[in-house]
Structure 1
Amino acid sequence: TSVIALISASAAQAADVIVPHEVAPTVISAPAFSWTGFYIGGQVGNFSSKVEITDPNKKDKLFSKDDTPKPSGFMGGIYAGSNMSLGNNMILGVETDAVWADREDAKTSSAKVIREDELANFKDSLKNANAVFAKDKTMDDVKQDEKHTDSLALKEKWSGATRVRIGFTAADRIMPYVAGGVSYAQVQAVSSTKVTQAADDAEIASAQLFDKTKTLVGFTLGGGVDFAMTDNVLLRAEYRYSDFGKEKFEKDGSELSYKTNDFRV
């Protein structure tokens, strides 16, 4: 009888035991990064240029590749824009930027013979440029078959663009994109010439033909990747090709074609 009572008491106590259930902790997901809205930033980079100088009538290049100045080097500037979502991880944006380079390159061509058919125009150029003549030399000493050496210096003062960007949010904080739009640049050109005697290379005259600054307008294409380092800080890497079109620095003069390739962060 005593044994049965003990067993019954133990069974009664076991019926009162409550086994607690573990409750899974609530997981709060961080909100996805938003690429939409206004932004502003700074940029630095390096650029190289391709320049061609041609006769607009004959389409001939007036300077060889080696004799053509090609500004290149460091640049820095700012940009600002705004993005909106197109859905399906697509982002559409508009952006404008400006960079300052102030880089110059100068080249001097090899000596060329003054031809009979260009002598009159050549003398007019010297006269209009107020040429400086060597001692005991005058315009009459500038003759057919004498030589002239031409120098040209080009400087890109600043450039910029207004572009449309289309991006794809491949990951939460990474957005590759392509971009294209209108590009513009301010370029200074300084041209000079020196006339020498064919017999002994003695100087006859020298002149600065022009020193002019023009704003060129063309198009730009490129692509890059934006990285969201924090909610408010982005890091960008970008390649850009720009064709600034052609411009005459003198009326009825040669045409200058200016193109650049650059990498920016």
Structure 2
Amino acid sequence: MKTILLATAFFLAHAGMASAADAGLPASATYNWSGGYIGAQAGYGWGDARVGQTFAPDSFGGYGWGYGGLSGGLSGLYAGYMKQFDGGLVLGVEGDYNFANLKDTTVYQALGVDDPGFGGVLELNPIGSARLRAGYAMDRWLPFVTAGVAMAHYKHSTVFLPSGDAYADVEDTIAGYALGAGAEYAVSDNWVVRGEYRFADFGRHTSIRHSTFDGAAANPDAIELKTHDIRLGIAYRF
């Protein structure tokens, strides 16, 4: 993961310097990135998750549902504030909220054996974050890295197969950490476009499914979730 972020940051920085050189601009920051902004973004996300049963200390890995094909689109808003310092360093804060439609289906496994009678559906809905940002201004180019807290709302349903009728489900909002890297380009004094890669790790959280028939609680499960996404955005700077 660190290798991907470092490589992305290096590539974007190199691209920014090359573009500045091609345009006959100095590598130092002549465009000032200080100020607030609000923008809209859209992208594509993917990830993997596991919902495991916790009826025994070692049951999580052996009994449950593995989701390796979680994927779908996302779109939302972001806003923040940045301050540019002498020498080109830019620091800031940013928050974002996105409507997402990441989804995957699978079958229940017990000690590696599929159970043809039971399946699961995992859906990742709204996702958001609050992060710190750091970048290096090269005139109208700003390569950056970012890190902070990530939030995600998910729904996990357990279903009868082959009908697909849900017999229990759970919804919850979980928190983790987010890391990212990308670059922005100021197409005018006020309008800025960006491309970004984001990784989020939500760790493991306990969840309790409830019957869809009478609301009775089932034995506690736990969910582990990691996501990746690529997003493009456009923002207006004040």
TM-score by length of 1: 0.64
Tell me which of 15, 32, 49 is aligned to 1:51. 49
Task: Tell me if structure 2 keeps the 8 A contact 1:52–1:61.
Answer: no
Matches of 2:116 and 2:44, distance apart in 1:
35
Instruction: Specify which structure has the higher proportion of strand.
Output: 2
1:185/1:64 Cα in 2 relative to 1: closer, same or farther (>3 Å)?
closer
- For residue 151 of structure 2, the aligned residue among 184, 187, 192 is 184
In 2: Cα distance, 1:52 partner to 1:64 partner: 6
TM-superposed CA distance for 1:157, in Å, is 1.1
Structure 2 residue 141 is matched with structure 1 residue 174:
yes
How far, CA to CA, are the matches of 2:63 and 2:177 in structure 1? 25
Tell me how large the CA RMSD over aligned residues is. Answer: 2.5
Amino acid at match of 2:193: L
Q: Is the 8 A contact 1:79 1:96 kept in 2?
A: yes
Aligned length: 188
Q: What is the DSSP-based 3-state SS (H/G/I as helix, E as strand, rest coil) of the residue aligned with 1:88?
A: coil
* Partners of 2:41 and 2:116 in 1: CA distance: 43
Which whole-Å deviations, capped at 9, do the CAs of 1:107-147 have from their partners, x for residues lacking one? 2346x69xxxxxxxxxxxxxxxxxxxxxxxxxxxxxxxxx7
Task: Give CA deviations for 1:201-220 in whole Å, capped at 9, x if unaligned.
Answer: xx9xx984422210010000
Distance 1:210 1:69 in 2: 21
Unaligned 5+ runs, structure 2: 1-28, 209-217, 233-238
Alignment of 1:262 onto 2:229:
yes
Q: Distance in 2 between matches of 1:106 and 1:209?
A: 15
Q: Which amino acid aligns with 2:231?
A: R
Distance (whole Å) between structure 2 residues aligned to residue 156 and residue 187 of structure 1: 4
The equivalent of 2:181 in structure 1 is 223
**3-state secondary structure, aligned to 2:124:** strand
Distance 1:77 1:168, change over 3 A: same
Q: Secondary structure at the match of 1:253?
A: strand
**CA distance 1:192–1:236, change in 2 (3 Å):** same
Task: Give the partner amino acid of 1:262.
Answer: D
Q: Specify which of 81, 106, 118 is matched with residue 150 of structure 1.
A: 118
Q: Per-residue CA shift, 1:206-251, capped at 9, x if unaligned?
A: 9844222100100000110011111111110100100122222217
Name the counterpart of 1:128. none
1:78–1:98: 8 Å Cα contact kept in structure 2? yes
Letter in 2 for 1:260: T
**Number of the residue aligned with 2:202:** 244
Bigger CA drift: 233-242 or 147-156?
A: 147-156
* Aligned equivalent of 1:92: 91
Cα shift at 1:74: 1.3
Structure number with bigger Rg: 1
Instruction: Letter of the 1:50 partner, please give it.
Output: D
Kept in 2: contact 1:161–1:184 (CA 8 A): yes
How do 1:1-265 and structure 2 match up within 5 A?
32-56=30-54, 57-58=57-58, 59-63=60-64, 65=66, 68=67, 70-109=69-108, 149-169=117-137, 171-193=138-160, 208-250=166-208, 252-265=219-232
**1:5-50 C-alpha deviation (Å, 9 max, x unpaired):** xxxxxxxxxxxxxxxxxxxxxxxxxx93110010000001100011
Q: What is the aligned-residue identity percentage?
A: 28
TM-score normalised by the chain length of structure 2: 0.71
Give a deviation string over 1:134-180, Cα, whole Å, max 9, x none. xxxxxxxxxxxxx77221111111100000000001x2000101100
CA distance in 2, matches of 1:239, 1:207: 36
